[in-house]
Amino acid sequence: MASARVNFSVGLFMTAGLALATLAVIWLGMTSFLRKGELFVTYFDESVQGLGVDSPVKYRGVPVGRVQAIRIAPDYHLIEVVILIDDEHADDENRFVDSVAAISNVGITGAMFVEIDKRGPLAHDFSPRLGFTPEYPVIASRPSDIKKLFREIDEIAMKIQSIDFKGISDQAMLAFATMNTVMTEAQFGAISADIRTLLASINAAANPKRLESMAKNMEQTVIASRTLMNTAAEELTRLDTILVQFQSMIEANRPHVDTAMNALASTALKADVVMTQSHATVFQMQGAIKDLEARMAATAENLEQTSSNLNTLIGNVKDQPAQLIFGQPKAPRKVEE
């Protein structure tokens, strides 16, 4: 009788346990199935190792949803991650505008989650370009910190590899060889002697007595310069006073000055008229003188011809005196009517 009761109790306990387990599984499944929200999708151009379905999605550290699916994108290059955003965070359609999604890790466990954050105003757009039409609204993505670190390491390694260490080494060796040759050919003894001579000259020039004498001469020069400047200032002051007085005199005698200037201008005009008339008179005198010179030249020519004729007549009378009495007169000259 006791054994039957124990068996019944054990069976009842097992049945109740199985029923509770079944209800728990159904509840969890229905909760996941009946979860509501808005679906978004993001694409990563890197490995998503450690990220799985139901991995949390956080917006600046605040949980806002879960990863619903992870699959290969239609271009077989990118990784498509479908995100289910909870209802309380999916009301605003522009909530994730200018946002970027990245894969972050949870401590050192290796578990990954999707971190969403706003893109900075100066941040570069590292989101991969899509050659297909997504099924859900797209949230831009950026490489994870680990990938950026490895990318920067690769860039640094490529830059290091591009450095021509052999060429640098050859140039350094050539520079050292040139320096060695220069140092070998340099006459350090002569240079040292020249330096000593220069120092001795400087020491001789820096004699205290000479410096004191130079200081006195400089002081006297400064005093003389100051005296000259003071004298120049006094002379300039006097000149300024004279100019002021002259200006006052001009202002006081302004009517007389204006009258004198007007009279001078009138005299200049009259002198101009007289000069013009004088020029005309001179021109007339020049014409009369030229005419008189022409007449005098004609008269002189006539006198010369008359003198020649008279000489001829005197010669004829002297040679043939009878011709003066018995000679025939010359034919009369024809006079033009």
pLDDT of residue 72: 92
Alpha-carbon distance of 103 to 51, in angstroms, equals 8
pLDDT (0 to 100) of residue 200: 73
Tokens representing 165 are 């260490």
Assigned token pair, 116: 């969403």
Query: 149 vs 236, which has greater pLDDT?
Result: 236
| DSSP one-letter code for 99 | E
User: Which residues is 57 bridged to in the sheet?
Assistant: 65, 114
Q: What is the pLDDT of residues 108-144, one digit of tens each?
A: 666 789 999 888 777 777 788 888 989 898 888 888 8
Residue 146 has pLDDT above 60, yes or no: yes
Q: Look at 72-81, 99-108, 192-201 and tell me which has the smallest mean pLDDT.
A: 192-201
Q: Is residue 34 predicted with pLDDT exceeding 60? A: no
Contact (CB, 8 A) for 43 and 138: yes
Q: Give the tens place of pLDDT for each residue, 168-186.
A: 877 878 887 787 776 666 5
- Sequence-distant (≥ 6) Cβ neighbours of residue 101 within 8 angstroms: 42, 81, 83, 114, 115, 116, 139, 140, 141, 142
Q: What is the pLDDT of residues 61-82, one digit of tens each?
A: 889 899 999 999 999 999 999 9
Q: How far apart are CA 134 and CA 330, in angstroms?
A: 150
Mean pLDDT of 217-238: 82
Q: How far apart are the C-alpha atoms of 146 and 155, rounded to whole Å?
A: 14
E-strand spans in the chain? 37-44, 56-59, 62-72, 79-86, 99-105, 112-118, 140-141
Comparison of pLDDT for 58 and 10, the residue scoring more = 58
Q: How far, rounded to the nearest angstrom, does the alpha carbon of residue 259 sit from its chain's CA centroid?
A: 62
In terms of C-beta density within 10 A (0-12 exposed, 13-18 middle, 19 or more buried), how is residue 50 classed? Answer: middle
pTM: 0.40
pLDDT at 57: 92
